[in-house]
């Protein structure tokens, strides 16, 4: 992209791209806006990967990673054959660092060997800038990789980043924060009204005996519905059941005006 065209986008269209990110409602729409904006900033190829809700124990709920890219399909297919990438140096770098780093600079560090970046280089996409999204959103990790064009050299990457790296970084931050605020695709779980009542009162700190008094049932019945709720939610403890029910929006606020309000014990 010519410098004049890039400057024109930054001045005229960049605010519009940010505005679009704030109003779209689905991940596919966000993907379209981000990839289009990255291309207009001089980066033809981009990859975004993130995971949210990391403070929730995996035994309770693990949010699925969100990944999208316009990298060539053949490259992505070969990348999947590399196996798990958790220990790949570029992923470790974004988990441990803020800011950004060029792939060449990362691989020049002592002892760094990145199978995925080497694979990208074989496809002519080795000159990429890696942007860490660490700590931009609470309880999340994320990264953006951008490549100027297929076959680009290090000088081209450095020049594009000098020209529009600041805008690309802001675009990535806004996208990441926007995705974090979207409704999560939660697992489909069904609890009976009584199970929801029992967990709701347990979440309020009530004991089994207190819940039994509030609901007008026996402690044994409270224990039964608690056990059935744990089984329905696929967890081992009542604390995990309460947490998962809260995350999945299954708890119902007690009605304080009724005879079973939280003021009764």
What per-residue confidence (pLDDT) applies to 96? Answer: 92
What per-residue confidence (pLDDT) applies to 39? Answer: 94
Structure tokens at 15: 């605010």
How do the pLDDT tens digits run along the chain, 265 residues long?
555 566 665 656 788 889 999 999 899 999 999 999 999 999 999 999 998 755 555 555 556 788 999 999 999 999 988 877 778 899 999 999 999 999 999 999 999 999 999 999 999 999 999 999 988 887 788 999 999 999 999 999 999 999 999 999 999 999 999 998 886 666 667 889 999 999 999 988 899 999 999 999 999 999 999 999 988 888 888 988 888 888 777 887 765 554 444 333 3
Domains observed in the chain: 3-180 (3.30.450.80), 193-247 (1.10.10.10)
Beta strands in 149-264 (DSSP E): none
What per-residue confidence (pLDDT) applies to 264? Answer: 34
What per-residue confidence (pLDDT) applies to 233? Answer: 86
Q: Rounded to whole angstroms, how far apart are CA atoms 150 and 131?
A: 19
Strand partners, 68: 48
How far is residue 67 from each of residues 16, 220, 245, measured CA to CA in Å?
24, 46, 26
Element of type H or E holding 203: helix 193-203
DSSP letter assigned to residue 50: E
Q: Which residues contact 164 (CB under 8 A, 6 or more apart)?
A: 6, 10, 41, 42, 43
The model scores a pTM over 0.75: no
Residue appearing with tokens 């309000």 = 261
Strand partners, 50: 66, 142
């Amino acid at each position: 992209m010519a410098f004049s065209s890039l400057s024109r986008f930054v001045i005229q269209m960049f605010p519009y791209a940010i505005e679009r990110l704030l109003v779209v409602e689905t991940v596919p729409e966000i993907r379209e806006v981000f990839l289009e904006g990255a291309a207009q900033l001089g980066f033809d190829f981009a990859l975004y990967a993130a995971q949210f809700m990391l403070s929730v124990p995996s035994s309770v709920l693990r949010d699925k990673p969100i990944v999208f890219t316009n990298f060539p399909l053949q490259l992505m297919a070969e990348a999947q054959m590399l196996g798990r990438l958790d220990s790949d140096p570029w992923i470790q770098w974004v988990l441990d660092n803020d800011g950004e780093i060029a792939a060449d600079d990362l691989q020049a560090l002592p002892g760094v060997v990145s199978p995925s970046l080497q694979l990208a280089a074989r496809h002519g996409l080795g000159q990429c800038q890696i942007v860490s999204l660490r700590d931009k959103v609470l309880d999340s990790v994320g990264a953006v990789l951008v490549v100027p064009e297929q076959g680009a050299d290090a000088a081209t990457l450095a020049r594009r980043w000098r020209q529009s790296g600041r805008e690309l970084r802001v675009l990535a931050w806004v996208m990441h924060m926007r995705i974090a605020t979207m409704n999560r695709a939660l697992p489909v779980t069904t609890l009976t009204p009584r199970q929801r009542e029992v967990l709701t009162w347990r979440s309020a700190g009530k004991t089994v005996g207190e819940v039994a008094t509030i609901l007008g049932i026996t402690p044994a019945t409270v224990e039964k519905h608690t056990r059935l709720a744990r089984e329905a939610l696929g967890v081992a403890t009542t604390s995990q059941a309460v947490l998962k029910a809260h995350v999945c929006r299954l708890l119902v606020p007690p009605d304080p005006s009724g005879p079973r309000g939280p003021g009764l014990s």
